Structure 1
Amino acid sequence: DTWQQFPPVFISKPDPQTVYVGKRAVMQCVIAGTAPLNVVWLKDNQALPKVPAHYQSSCEKNKHTLEIPSVEAADSGLYVCKVSNKAGTAECHTELCVIDKPNFVRPLASVAAVVGAALHLECQVDEDTGVTVSWTRDGRKVHQSPDYKLLFEDKTVTLDILKTTLKDCGNYVCTVANEAGTAENRTTSGVVLQSAGHSCYYCHMV
């Protein structure tokens, strides 16, 4: 009889989590109530696709788990665990935020600067969570210094050379990376020599 049964109750619920693309996500809850319990997982109010290799649900005693071994960007969303028995129903919600690798949405442009003048390189990415930035010129790392200002702010990456010299001529590569992956963007910088007669030429670029 119904009065002898206990409706399902969540003893513990999964916490919201942030996961990088390619990493593992685990949502777990502990449920009490009279057996048998019917447990269903949903994402954004839709039943999960029947793809065992991607979504893996399991149950050990009263512990119910949904695992995504290798998270994709499309896995971001609101997940619901619904449970029911003859005495009633219950559900809990949790959010999964997926962070993808950074991609360049505005690439570097080829630039030229007059010797002694400033040189500005700028590009923009679509992700900045956990992102690190590095610059190289002709394969050699460019470091922050009084002459070189490196900045990464509001998803915009900049390299400013305050006073250009001939050695600043070359191929520049900006590399952005986080735990989900890496992206590179490259450009060529020329340096212009200007004489008193205002004639100029470009230095040779490797």
Structure 2
Amino acid sequence: MNGAFSSLCWRFVCAIVSCLVGLISVKVKLINTDLFLFFLIPVEQFPPVFISKPDPQTVYVGKRAVMQCVIAGTAPLNVVWLKDNQALPKVPAHYQSSCEKNKHTLEIPSVEAADSGLYVCKVSNKAGTAECHTELCVIDKPNFVRPLGSLTETEGIKGSCAHLECLVSGSLPMTIQWYKDETEIQTCQKYKCTFFENVAFLEIGCLDSRDSGSYTCVAENEGGSAQCSGILSVKGLISCIISIFS
């Protein structure tokens, strides 16, 4: 056997037959012999690193949002998606995560207003951890949660004030505009228009019969617009009545 080793000058053919955690198993066959040698050779472990990261994005309610990142590092990689420091469920439902080679994707097929927030992709392996962050901004168009027609009737007499208000949901910033019989109302001594904590107010001072008519509140933001209307009736010394008509 010693002659075989000497004459062949330790020539051999190597074949990598398996890869273990941190080790490579090498099978060595000596030429012109039936002898095999096996070695376990340590290999360097590489911590995860993000080759590409998802960009911040703005999406409208009901649309699709996709966050993708490409990760390199020694396998196996453990990838977890979080929103506002809470791990997202792995069972496909509202949030759907997937992996193709080293590309990891989080998809929201139909975005809701509550999906706005900070998203984190956290990845780890035996050599270390890494994470990246991205912001998702969801724009929700205005919606009248409490329109004019659902208000309690405002009582007053001719010469007093009337208060119209409605509650609006939706993404800020939002603009509010009031109309009387399709004519835009400007803030002045008689009309006071305010918008505070998603409630739109219109105060009409010194009521007279000319203030009777249709009043419309229009809310608008980047996602769209909505409106609600009601009728104000001023009847001499009798109460002011607000009623819905659309």
Place the TM-score, normalised by the shorter chain, in its bin.
Answer: 0.5 to 0.7
**Equivalent residue of 2:210, what SS?**
helix
The alpha-carbon deviation at position 190 of structure 1 amounts to: 1.3
* Aligned twin of 2:198: 155
Worse overlay, 71-80 or 30-39: 30-39
Structure-2 separation of matches of 1:70 and 1:98: 11
For the pair 1:101 / 2:141, whether they are aligned, the reply is: yes
Taking every aligned residue pair, what percent have the same amino acid on both sides?
Answer: 57
The alpha-carbon deviation at position 168 of structure 1 amounts to: 1.9
Match for residue 47 of structure 1 among 79, 89, 92:
89
Runs of 4+ in 1 over 6 A off after TM superposition: none
User: Where do 5+ consecutive residues of structure 2 fail to align?
Assistant: 1-22, 24-41
Match for residue 165 of structure 2 among 119, 122, 125:
122
For the pair 1:142 / 2:165, whether they are aligned, the reply is: no
Q: Which has the larger radius of gyration?
A: 2
Report if aligned partners of 2:154, 2:239 keep a CA contact under 8 Å in 1. Answer: no
Worse overlay, 118-127 or 87-96: 87-96
C-alpha deviations, 1:65-86, integer Å up to 9, x for none?
4343541234345533233456
Code of the aligned partner of 2:167: Q
TM-score (norm 2): 0.58
The alpha-carbon deviation at position 150 of structure 1 amounts to: 2.0
Structure-2 separation of matches of 1:185 and 1:49: 41
Higher relative contact order (CA 8 A, sep 6+): 1
The alpha-carbon deviation at position 7 of structure 1 amounts to: 1.3
Code of the aligned partner of 1:152: F
**Equivalent residue of 1:167, what SS?**
helix
Closer/same/farther in 2, CA of residues 68 and 135 from structure 1, 3 Å limit: same
* Aligned twin of 1:176: 219
TM-score (norm 1): 0.67
Structure-2 separation of matches of 1:113 and 1:38: 67
Structure-2 separation of matches of 1:78 and 1:36: 26
* Aligned twin of 2:38: none
For the pair 1:92 / 2:132, whether they are aligned, the reply is: yes
Paired residues, what number?
197
Structure-1 separation of matches of 2:121 and 2:82: 7
